[in-house]
Structure 1
Amino acid sequence: MTTLTTAPAKQGLGPRLNALSKIVELGAGRLDDRLLKESGALLMRAGERLKLSSEHTVVALAGGTGSGKSSLFNAVSGLELSPTGVRRPTTSRTHACVWGLDGAGPLLDWLGIPGRHRFARASALDKGESRLHGLILLDLPDHDSIRALTDTEADRLIGVADLVVWVLDPQKYADASTHRRYVTELAGHDAVTVFALNQADRLLPEELAELVIDLNDLLRREGVTQPTVVPTSAVTGRGIDSLKRVVAEAVSRRRAAIQRLEADLDRLTAKLAAASPIGDAPPGVDAARRVGLTDALCDAIGVPALGEAMENAYARRAEQWVGWPYARWAAGFRPDPLKSLDLGALEVPQGQVSAQPAEVAGAVQTMADGLSAGMTGAWRAGLNHAARSRSGRLPQTLGEELAEVAPVLDRVPGWWRALKVWQYLLVVAFALGLGWLLVGLLLPAQLPSWLAFLGDTATLPWVGVATGAVLGLGALSAVASRNFVVLGAGRERERLEREMRRRVTAVAETLVVEPVEKELARHHDFTAAMRGL
C-alpha cells in the first residue's frame, strides 16, 4: 500500500481567490469566454464551500459499473447503506454516510443529497471510529452507466468533493474513459485523490503486486506525480482499514476542502498562464510619448506652417505701417510676388484649419505600437482599440480648437501707430528742408522780403545738413522698426505655436491618452492579479 501524500499546504487561498476575482473582472474581452466561465464557476464554488462546515470533509467514492464501489462504501461505513446489484451491479443515486451529523445539513443540501439518502452513524456504532468524525462519505452513481449519459450527478459531485477515491477493478483499472475523462483532468490533485484497487481477493499476491506497480506507472504518466494506491477487497475486508486510515488522515487535518480548492486553482492558473502569458507594458503613458504624440499631431495639422505663415503675414502687414514711406512708395512701382498669397489677410475662418486624417492615425498608431510592444495577444489588440476608440474625432476637434486661436491680423499695435506718425513727421521735415534748399538756391531773387531768410547763403548749408540728418534719421528709424517687427513677429509666432500646441496636447490627452491609460491600468492590474495567483 502507498500512503497518502501530504503536499505542502499553500498559504493565502483568500488572496489567491481575490486575485482570480480580479482576473475575471478585468479579463472580459481579453480571455477566452470558456476560461472566464470556468474561473467564475470556481469562485462561486469556493465561496459556497468555504461558507459551509469546515468540520466536515466530503469524500466521494467514484468508479465505473462493476468496480465494487457500493460494496466498498458499505464496508467502510460498516452498514448496508448502498444497494448492490447482483446481475448488473449499478448505483443510480448518490448515498451519503455522515460521521457527526451536527452542522452537516447545509453542506449536504449544497451537495444535493436527498434526505432519504442520508445516513448518520449512531454513537453506538461509532465506537472506535472517532477518527472519522466529520466524514461525509458519498457513494456516487456509476460514471459509465447508461443513465450517466443523461445525468451529470457523478461529474458534478466529483467536481466539488473535497477528496475523491477512485475505485478501480482489476479488469478495467486502465479503462481509457476513466483515465481520459477524469484522472488526466485531475492531474495535480495528488493530495486530494486516492485510488482504491478493489476486488484484490480475485488476484494472486504476485498478480496484485504487478497490478499495483503497473497502475502507479500509468498514473505517473498521466500527471499524478505521487499517486496514492490502496489495494482493497470488500469481500475479505483486506485494505479497508488502510483506506479508512488514509481517509481519516484527510478528515483529521480538516484541510481537504482547502487543498481541493488550491489544486483546482493551480490547474486553472496553468490554463490562464497559457492563454494569457504575463506581458510587459508601462503602467501609464510616459512624458516622452506624450510629447512625441503632440509633436506628430502638430505636424499633421501643420502648426509649424501656420506659425511661419503668421510670422510672414505679421511682417508684411507691419511694413504698411512702420516701413520708411519713401521706400514703401518706391516699392509700390515694382511687381510684388507675394501679393498673390495675400498674407496680409491671414485670418482663418472657423473650421478652415484641418488635420490630415492619415497622419493623425499614423501618430496614434505609432504611440500605441510603442506602448504595446511587450503585451501579448488580446491585450495588444485591446490597447490598439483603446488608442483608436476616439481618434476618429481628432481631425475635426483639432481643426475646431486651432481655428479659435488662428491669428486675426487686422489688429494694429499702438507702437505701430506712434512710429507711423513719427515717420510722417520726418517725411514732412525732409520735404520742408528740401523745399527750402531748392527755393534758396534757385529763386533767391524772387523771394519777398519777409522770406528773404530762405535765400541766406550762410543758413543754406545748415539747412542741407539738417535735411540730410532728417533723411538719415528716417532710414535709421526704418531699420530699427524692421528689427522690432522681426522680433515682434517671432514673438507672435511663438505665442501662436505655444497656444496651438497647448490645445493639441489637451485634445490628445482627452481623445487618445486617457483611454490608453485606462487600458494600461487595466493591464497592470490584470498582470498583478496573475502574479497573485
Structure 2
Amino acid sequence: MQDDGAGTHRRADPAGAETDGAAGAGGDGEGGAWGDGLIARRVDESGGAEQFAVLPSRSAASSAALMPLAYDGNLRSRLDALRELVGLSRARLDSGTLAEAGRVLDEAAARRRLSGQHTVVAVAGATGSGKSQLFNTLAGVTISETGVRRPTTAAPIACSWSDGAASLLDRLGIPGRLRRRPLQHPDSESPLRGLVLIDLPDHDSAAVQHREQVDRILALVDAVIWVVDPEKYADALIHERYLRPMAGHAEVTFVVLNQVDRLPGEAAEQVLDDLRRLLDEDGIALGEHGEPGATVLALSALTGEGVGELRESLGQFVAERQAPARRIAADVDAAAQHLRPVYVTGQRTGLSEEAREEFADRLADAVGATAAGEAAERAWLRNANRACGTPWLRLWRWYQNRRDPVTGRLPSRTQADEEATARQRVEHAVRTVSERASAGLPAPWAQAMREAALRGAHGLPEALDELAVRTGLPPGRPSRPGWWPVAVLAQATMTLLQVVGGLWLLGQIVGVLPPNLGVPVLLMLSGIVGGPLIEWSCRLAARGPARRYGHEAERLLREAAAGCGRARVLDPLAAELLRYREVREQYARVTGVGVAG
C-alpha cells in the first residue's frame, strides 16, 4: 500500500496491479459508479506514521434501496405555485428575472429524486479559520490536509457517515478520489449516521476557481457550517457576500467561532456575543430559547473544546431529516423575495367603474354623440313644424332663407380638421384609460397594459367613424305623439277657413255673392290667428318628444361607441389585469401569505 501524497493511496491487487483505493469500489465518480468503498486515515496517537484502514463497501443494491426525499404538502404546494408562476410570467418577464426561480425549481426536483436519509452539510470558512481541522475532528480521522500553506484545501472533500450518498456527491461534482469515510464502520450506531460532510476550499482564496467551487456547492448543499476565527469573524467579505444574502437560510446554518483556545479569560464570550450581534445585523435569526434559527457555537478544533456540543447538535439536526426540505423552502422564500418587486407594489390595482365611464364619455365626445342627439332633436322639431305649422309661414321662411346670404358667419371647419380633432380625442381617451389601468401595477405589467391599450387603439378612430355613419337616428320611423294628427287636422282646418273666407269675400267683391262682410272676415281672422296659435302650441308640445328622441339617438351612439371601445381597449386591458391577478394569486401561494392590494 502506497500513499500518493494527495490524500489517496494505492494498494496492490492479487494480480499485482495497483488500483486507486477510492475508485476501487466502483470508480471515481467520473468514469463509473461509486460504491462507497472509502478509505480513511488517522494519525497515530503516539505521533508515529499514519495508519490506514480499508472499509468494506456496500453493494449498489443497498444504495438503490434508499428512500428518495419527500416534501410535505405545504412545500409541494409552494413549488407547484412557483412553477405555475414562472409559466404564466414568461410572456411578461425576461428570462433573467425568472432565472433564480427556475434554478430553485430545478434544484428542488433534482434533490427530491435523491436520498432523503442523508443530509449534506458543507464546512465553509476563510483561510486560516481552521475549517479543515474541524472537518477532521468531526470525522475522527485526518482526511483534509491542514497546514500553514494557503490555500490548503484546493478541492472539496467529502466524508459520508453511511452508505447511499454516491448520487448526492455526484450531484455536487465531487469525484470518487475525494470521497472519504470516517474510521467508524458504517454499520455502527454513529450519532452522525446519515451525515455527508463537505470540506470546501477557502471562500476568500486567491484562486478564482476555488471561489467558484465554493459558490457552486453552497447553492446545492442542505446546510452550511460557517467557521470563523477571532481575527476574521467580523470580516465584511463573509457577511456581505454570504451571510447577509443567506439570512433566510438561518434554520440550515451553523456559525462556529473556532480557535477560542487562543482567547484568554472571558474574551471568548465577548467575541461570541459580538458575533451574535453582527449576525443579528445581517438579519440572521438566532436559534435561541427554542426558536428556529441559526446555531451559534464557540469551540476549538485543536483542543476539542466545544466539539462535542457541535457533534450533538449535528446529530440531532441530521436525525430530524428536515434539512433538505428546509433548504428548499428557504430557497423558495429567497426566490419569492427576489420576484416581489415585479408582482407586488402595495398599491390598489384595477380599473374603476368611474374610469370606464369616463373613457366611454370621451369616445362619445369624439364620435359626436351629443351633437348627434341635438341634431336628432332639431330634426324632430323641424318635422313637427312642417306638419303642424301654417303653410304661409313655412313659405315665408323658405323665401327668407333663399334671400338672405350667409355672410358674417364664422367659417365652418373642414372635414379634415374635424377628423384630426376626433382622432386626438380618441388617442387622449386611450392614453388616459391605459394610465389609470396601469396605475399601481409593477413595471412589467404596467408596460403590458399600455401595450395592450395601444394595440386596441389601432384603427379605433376609423371604427368610430364607421360606427357614427351606421348608427344614426333611432331605427324605424320616429314615434309621433297622439296630439300630432289632431294638430295637423286643426292646422288644415285653419287654412281651410282662410281659404273659404277669402273666396267668400272675393265672391262678394265680384258681385257673385250678396254683401255680408261679417262672416267671411270672421272666418279669415279665425284662420289667420288660429294657424300661428296652433303652430306655437305644437312647438311647445313638441319639445318633450323631440328631447326624448334626441336623447335616444345620443344614447344609441354612446352605447355603440362604448361597445367599440370596450371590445378594442377595455376587454384587452381586463384580460391583462386578470392575468396579473392570476399570477399575483400564485405569488401569494408561493409566499404562503396574502398579497396586499
TM-score normalised by L of structure 1: 0.77
Where in structure 1 are there 5+ consecutive unaligned residues? 1-9, 342-348, 448-453
Report the 3-state secondary structure (helix = DSSP H, G, I; strand = E; otherwise coil) of the residue aligned with 2:400: coil
- Name which of 153, 162, 175 aligns with 2:213: 153
Q: Residues 60-75 of structure 1 correspond to what in structure 2 (within 5 A)? A: 60-75=122-137
Structure 2 CA distance for aligned equivalents of residues 279 and 29 of structure 1: 23
Superposition map of 1:513-524 within 5 A: 513-524=570-581
- 2:378 maps to amino acid: N
Residue 168 (structure 2) pairs with residue 107 (structure 1) = yes
Q: Distance in 2 between matches of 1:373 and 1:106?
A: 50
Q: Give a deviation string over 1:216-249, Cα, whole Å, max 9, x none.
A: 3443343334253334444444433322212112
Flag the 1:279–1:231 CA change in 2: closer, same or farther, 3 A: closer
Instruction: Select between 31-40 and 163-172 the one with higher mean Cα deviation.
Output: 31-40
Aligned to 1:54: 116
Amino acid at match of 2:325: I
* 2:506 alignment counterpart: 438
Which runs of structure 2 are paired with 1:125-524 in the superposition (5 Å)?
125-129=186-190, 131-149=191-209, 152-200=212-260, 208-226=268-286, 228-273=295-340, 277-282=344-349, 284-316=350-382, 319-320=385-386, 323-335=389-401, 356-371=422-437, 374-375=440-441, 383-407=449-473, 427=495, 430-432=498-500, 434-439=502-507, 441-444=508-511, 454-455=513-514, 478=535, 482=539, 486=543, 489-524=546-581
Find the aligned partners of 1:529 and 1:193 in 2 and give their Cα distance. 29
Aligned residues: 504
Displacement after TM superposition at 1:182 (Å): 1.5
Aligned pair in 2 of structure 1 residues 277, 427: CA closer, same or farther (>3 Å)?
A: closer
CA contact (8 A) 1:301 1:355 kept: no
The letter for the 2-side match of 1:323 is: G
Deviation at 1:286, TM superposition (A): 3.9
CA change 1:201–1:328 in 2 (3 A) is closer
Cα displacement (A) at 1:504: 0.9
Task: Find the aligned partners of 1:326 and 1:22 in 2 and give their Cα distance.
Answer: 80
One-letter amino acid matched to 1:293: F
Residue 238 of structure 2: SS of its match in structure 1? helix
Identity %: 35
2:205 aligned counterpart, secondary structure: coil
**Alignment partner of 1:44 is 2:111:** no
What is the rounded CA distance, in whole Å, between the counterparts of 1:351 and 1:414 in structure 2? 37
Aligned partner letter, 1:252: A
1:501: how far off? 0.8
Taking the aligned partners of 2:450 and 2:546, their CA distance within structure 1 comes to: 41
Q: Secondary structure at the match of 1:501?
A: helix
SS in 2 for 1:55: coil
Q: 1:13 and 2:13 equivalent?
A: no
Structure 2 match to 1:3: none
Q: Is the 2:317–2:323 Cα contact (8 Å) retained in structure 1?
A: yes
The answer as to whether partners of 1:93 and 1:141 remain within 8 angstroms in 2 is yes
1:50-106 CA distance string (max 9 Å, x none)? 34332221111112334333333233223444445674462222222223323x444
User: Structure 1 residues 240-249 or 391-400, which shifts more?
Assistant: 391-400
Contact 1:95 1:138 in 2 (8 A): yes
AA in 2 matched with 1:50: R
Report the 3-state secondary structure (helix = DSSP H, G, I; strand = E; otherwise coil) of the residue aligned with 1:164.
Answer: strand
Displacement after TM superposition at 1:328 (Å): 1.9
RMSD over equivalenced CA pairs, Å: 4.4
Cα gap change, 1:238 to 1:125, in 2 (>3 Å): farther
Distance 1:294 1:339, change over 3 A: farther
Q: Aligned pair in 2 of structure 1 residues 435, 44: CA closer, same or farther (>3 Å)?
A: same
Aligned-partner Cα distance in 1 for 2:192–2:185? 14
How far did 1:11 drift? 8.8
Contact preservation (8 Å) 2:388, 2:538 = yes
Q: Tell me: CA distance 1:224–1:484, structure 2 relative to 1, closer, same or farther (3 Å).
A: closer
Query: What TM-score do the two structures reach when normalised by structure 2?
Result: 0.70
Shift of 1:164: 0.2
Counterparts of 2:116 and 2:404, CA distance in 1:
90
Shift of residue 251, structure 1, vs aligned partner: 0.8
The structural deviation recorded for 1:39 is 2.9
The counterpart of 2:156, out of the listed 94, 104, 127, is 94
Letter of the structure 1 residue corresponding to residue 354 of structure 2: A
SS of the equivalent of 2:237 reads helix
Query: Where does 1:71-90 land on structure 2 (aligned, <5 Å)?
Result: 71-84=133-146, 87-88=149-150, 90=152
- In the TM superposition, residue 384 of structure 1 has moved relative to its aligned partner by 4.6
Cα distance change of structure 1 residues 248 and 412 upon mapping to structure 2, 3 Å threshold: closer
Secondary structure of 1:67's counterpart equals: coil
Between Structure 1 and Structure 2, the one with more helix by share is: 1
Cα displacement string for residues 100-159 of structure 1 (whole angstroms, at most 9, x for unaligned residues): 323x44433332233443345698355240x32222211223323343447612111112
Provide the C-alpha distance between the structure 1 equivalents of 2:346 and 2:302, rounded to a whole number of angstroms: 57
Separation of aligned partners in 2, 1:280 and 1:178 = 36
Change (3 A) 1:464 1:192: same
Using the TM superposition, give the Cα deviation of residue 161 of structure 1 relative to its aligned residue in structure 2, in angstroms. Answer: 1.5
* Preserved contact between residue 437 and residue 463 of structure 1 (Cα < 8 Å): yes
Secondary structure of the residue that 1:14 maps to in structure 2?
Answer: helix
Tell me: CA distance 1:115–1:322, structure 2 relative to 1, closer, same or farther (3 Å). farther
Q: Contact 1:62–1:167 (CA<8 Å) still a contact in 2? A: yes
Give the CA deviation at 1:507: 1.4
Q: Which has the higher contact order (CA 8 A, sep 6+)?
A: 1
Moved more, 240-249 or 165-174: 165-174
Q: Which runs of 5+ in 2 are unaligned?
A: 1-71, 287-293, 408-414, 592-597
Q: Distance in 1 between matches of 2:273 and 2:501?
A: 128
User: Which residue of 118, 142, 147 maps to 2:179?
Assistant: 118
- How far does the alpha carbon of each residue in 1:350-374 deviate from its partner, in whole angstroms, 9 at most, with x for none? 9987752333343344444555555
Indicate conservation of the 8 Å contact 1:90/1:145, yes or no.
no
Amino acid in structure 2 at the alignment position of 1:165: I
